[in-house]
Structure 1
């Protein structure tokens, strides 16, 4: 059974049952990849905190919606390739910012819960070694997101 720790640093996140949402999104993503047991830590923060993290780790001093830190490099060598299933149960960490996420959901006309679920699925795929830097990788990752979200009963976020 996976261990998913959610630390709510910004009380604005209390509008959702964030822990249940994160557990559902992470477990759906892990199950899709055949990973039965893993550890993931999620920080639900504000825009200022994620801007600091984005500056510190990516050299981009601005807020973003979600960040992820895999515990090890798992990416596929070939563009569009499937990363190996991780051996390490400790997959890594995710941070998600309330303000950016809420603004994006509002602009897209979707619920905060649906957009947050999408971002957690997206970040969990990063922890599993998927990325979107190369064209083939981006197409693969987007397709996986759509399939996983579909299994959760959510619409394709890229086809609105």
Structure 2
């Protein structure tokens, strides 16, 4: 990937535009050890995962001096780049497209989407496919070459 920073910006901005949200998103391309430690610390799972998201605040409402307030939207998306690369190769996908999928997945998490229940997972997958399709990236949920793709659950 010649310019990963440009690709990261493209994916995050496209997802934010499609979801009609604005705010700050920080993306970190980390190693597996870092992501494993964060996953253990914050989710109790002592293993790397492909993507972690952390919403800003715990409270996402910030009062202003005038007494009114503004809603804050945004957060951190942490990708375990070695895991992303392994998963892409195992699924016969490009690392770029898999990374773009996981970035869109992260923005959806920051926007309140989740995949803990079948109906929620299906809604999230459909939204990922829609956003990625608008970006010209193939649907990661379509069966290809005997393997299924997608974000970790």
Q: TM-score range by the shorter chain?
A: 0.7 to 0.9
TM-score by length of 2: 0.81
User: CA–CA distance in 2 between the matches of 1:54 and 1:31?
Assistant: 28
Instruction: Give the equivalent residue in structure 2 for 1:43.
Output: 28
Q: Does 1:107 align with 2:90?
A: yes
- Number of positions where the alignment pairs a residue of Structure 1 with one of Structure 2: 133
For structure 1, list consecutive stretches of 5 or more residues without a partner in the other structure: 1-14, 75-85
The root-mean-square deviation of aligned C-alpha atoms, in Å, is: 1.8
User: CA–CA distance in 2 between the matches of 1:94 and 1:28?
Assistant: 15
Classify 1:122/1:16 alpha carbon distance in 2 versus 1 (closer, same or farther; 3 Å).
farther
Instruction: Give the equivalent residue in structure 1 for 2:129.
Output: 146
- Residue-by-residue CA offset, 1:36-61 (whole Å, 9 max, x unaligned): x3100111111111000111000001
**1:66-105 alignment, distance < 5 Å:** 66-71=51-56, 87-89=71-73, 91-105=74-88
* Structure 1 residue corresponding to 2:114, chosen from 106, 113, 131: 131
| Partner SS, residue 101 of structure 2 | helix
Instruction: Give the equivalent residue in structure 2 for 1:83.
Output: none
User: CA–CA distance in 2 between the matches of 1:158 and 1:100?
Assistant: 18
User: CA–CA distance in 2 between the matches of 1:147 and 1:128?
Assistant: 15
Shift of 1:87: 3.0
